[in-house]
Chains A and B, each alone.
Chain A
Amino acid sequence: MSSAIANDVPLLSVKDLVVDFKTRAGNARVLDHVSLDIKAGKILGIVGESGCGKSMTALSIMGLVPNPPGKITSGSISLNGRELTDLSEEQLCDVRGSEIGMIFQEPMTSLNPVFTVGEQIAESVRLHEKASKQAAMARAVDMLKAVDIPEPEIRARAYPHQLSGGMRQRVMIAMALACRPTLLIADEPTTALDATVQAQIFDLLQDLQRDTGTAIVLITHDMGAIAELADDVAVMYAGRIIETGSVSNVLSQPQHPYTQGLITCVPHLVPDPPIEREVLREIPGMVPALTNLGAGCAFEPRCEKAFARCKAEKPALLQISESQFGACWVLEEESA
């Protein structure tokens, strides 16, 4: 599907996206000049703490920013060279499902409890393609088979509550992929699942990406998941991307103090734990309110490397190496 496009042209390109929310406490800039590119067939991970804007990025791409109170103030989102922010609600609806699929954290609330899962997948097929009921149902069974659900013909007739959490998430993936989208957005797809089931879902996503060439945006708070699944990563903080690049670079040589903190504050599972317990490195304080961000870097109050300039101006993304960018005044000083 993307063969017509040259390899280095991104499938999805988000440029300087700004999203504002009106709240009682004032205007909250939930996305502040977010730019990212996803190449066809690649997996981009977006990480950050809750409230950093990672889910809002996904909703913006899907055209699902709740309005009011939210609104895309400026910026562009283009998919396969087509601008999405200009589309009407009807056209967007067509793009969702046929070109972009999405899976959510809690599969139970995203499935309709009164229809069988087969009917729901068939329905989403018929919504975007002209297909007979039988053909759509057959496609639904095929999709269930594709997401490794045993006995797909029987499972297609099951209602959501009759399936386990892992099974339901597979159904969601099947539904999202039923119309062969070129981009799949997975928003914390395994947070509600057990570790062994999470591993199964990750394997499935990886297989699907390899076999169908679907690009995936994986939104997560788990650096481990990023390490094992993603090609590229964007780290977000308070509505901005503060570091981005290839996974191998960012995880092995994180440049931004926040990325460094995110990696070291998690107790990572190791096969040979030291006998003496260490103290975990903390990131002090907490995420700031988006309604009263100052002129400086949003991470400055929690940053141990902060200096005068950090309080005064917001740092822009700076190229550190061929495939790594960081937004930090410390990096600027070093390179200067």
Chain B
Amino acid sequence: MSANKDLVVKDLKVHFGGGKKLLSGRKPTVHAVDGVSFTIPAGKTFGVVGESGSGKTTTALAIMRLVDITDGSVTLGDTQISALKKDELRAARSRFQIIFQDPFSSLDPRKRAGEIVRQPLDLMSIGTPSERAAAVSELFEQVGLRPEQQHLFPHQFSGGQRQRIGLARALSTRPDLIVCDEPVSALDVAIQAQILNLMSTLQKELGLTYLFISHDLGVVQHICDEIAVMYLGQIVEQADRVTLFKNPKHPYTKALLEAVPTVHGNKRDRSQRTRLHGDPPSPINLPKACRFASRCPRAESRCHNDIPPLEENDAGHKVACFFA
């Protein structure tokens, strides 16, 4: 491992709207991602968890340059992804790929499975045509599909198999980083285990770096090395997988962990848990204070007036809360 392949995200911001349209008024600005920084060491899995509206998916899309970055930088190895212009970006895309949540809308229904996997190779002219054909067959075997299945169309596959095709497409350019946006959320539990195990195996074989976006804490705990919890566009807590679950510090993380029903739980346990009330505020008019304060069971006056910084302790555990 000679070259540096870490992913470094610095103060990433993605704001939507705010522009003016012909003949219509000014649109409000949505602060989807508002100052997110983290580093993923090469070959590791970094998890981002949060509820809808937390900005986790937007973070993933911004790193992939699929939405416009308002501010901040994204660097993979020595390439600053966020600064690339059109053609440079298209050339650099071979190094970072994405797999999506919905196995039904993520594959073009009019292309054969083989064409879908081959498409990035064709577009980036990687290898000769016969090398590409061989590569596609090899990729199919790698993700547990039969090479003959290349000729089938997406609707002929089940959800799990389609997710394998998505994985093969992402692997086709031999990327360093794969962004996984809720890759198993739409799958049945039995199929979910198959895909998670496949992803772990591929990571070991190919030295892949994963950015793993999910709302399922059980899955994140299983597959990630380090985990960030996002709330309303910001990271509120970040730690390695053992520390975060053993010793959660932010009240939101605690509430999130307690909200998940587990097979080890029983009816009596539920009443002893702390519960969050209401829904997250809208990301349009954000308070200049702790964004969680309105739902926080511990909030005091300073939580409503000041912004708690994301502070790191000696063990690398980062928390944005005055009480941590």
In their complex, do chains A and B touch, with some C-beta pair under 8 Å? yes
A: which residues have CB within 8 A of B? 49-50, 150, 164-167, 194-200, 202-203, 206, 221-229, 248, 251, 261-263, 265-273, 275, 277, 279-284, 286-287
Contact B260 A269 (CB under 8 A): yes
Cα–Cα distance between A165 and B279 once the two chains are bound (Å): 9
Nearest-neighbour CB distance to chain A for B191, whole angstroms, equals 7
Instruction: Give complex CA distance A203, B219 in Å.
Output: 24
Of the listed residues B241, B245, B267, the one surrounded by the most CB atoms of chain A closer than 10 A to its CB is B267
Partner of B196, one of A229, A269, A271, A280: A280
Q: Contacts of B266 on A, CB cut-off 8 Å?
A: 227-228, 248
Q: Which of A194, A202, A206, A277 contacts B51 (CB 8 A)?
A: A194
For B51, what are the chain A residues with a Cβ–Cβ distance below 8 Å?
A: 194-197
- CB contacts (< 8 Å) of B269 on chain A: these are 228
**A49 x B222 contact (CB < 8 A):** no
Q: List 13 A-B contacts (CB under 8 A).
A: A195-B215, A196-B255, A202-B261, A223-B263, A228-B262, A262-B190, A266-B189, A267-B196, A269-B217, A269-B257, A272-B242, A275-B242, A286-B190
Contacts of B264 in A (CB 8 A): 227, 268, 270
Q: Which residues of B contact A280 (CB under 8 A)?
A: 193, 196-197, 222
What is the distance, in angstroms, from A235's C-beta to the closest C-beta of chain B?
Answer: 12
B279 with A282: CB separation less than 8 A: no
A residues in contact with B219, CB < 8 Å: 267
In the bound assembly, the distance between CA atoms of A194 and B222 in angstroms comes to: 20
Residue from the list A198, A228, A281 in contact with B193, Cβ < 8 A:
A281
User: How far is B273's CA from A275's CA once the two chains are assembled, in angstroms?
Assistant: 27
Digitize B231-257: 1 where CB-to-A-CB distance is under 8 Å, 0 elsewhere.
000000000011001100000000111
Q: How far is the CA of A251 from the CA of B263 in the complex (A)?
A: 7
Minimum distance in angstroms from A167 CB to a CB of chain B: 7
Contact A228 B217 (CB under 8 A): no
Q: Is B265 an interface residue (CB 8 A)?
A: yes
Apart from the given pairs A196-B51, A223-B263, A272-B245, 4 other A-B contacts in the complex at a CB distance below 8 Å: A267-B218, A271-B245, A271-B257, A280-B193
> Complex formed: what's the CA distance from A262 to B260 in Å?
17
- Is there contact, CB below 8 Å, between A273 and B260? no
Nearest chain A CB to B149's CB is how many angstroms away? 14
Whether B192 pairs with A265 at a CB distance below 8 angstroms is yes
Q: How far is the CB of A191 from chain B (nearest CB, A)?
A: 10
From B189, B217, B259, B279, A221 is in contact (CB under 8 Å) with B189
B221 is an interface residue with CB less than 8 A from chain A: yes
- Cβ–Cβ contact A283 & B52, under 8 A: no
C-alpha gap A201/B183 in the complex (Å) = 26
For chain B residues 192-242, which have a beta carbon within 8 Å of chain A?
192-194, 196-197, 200, 215, 217-219, 221-223, 241-242
Q: Are A282 and B194 in contact (CB under 8 A)?
A: yes
Q: Which residue of B lies closest to A251 (CB)?
A: B263
User: Which residues from chain B contact A266 at a C-beta distance below 8 Å?
Assistant: 189, 192-193, 218, 263
Contact assessment for B275 and A224 in the assembled complex, using a CB-CB cutoff below 8 Å: no
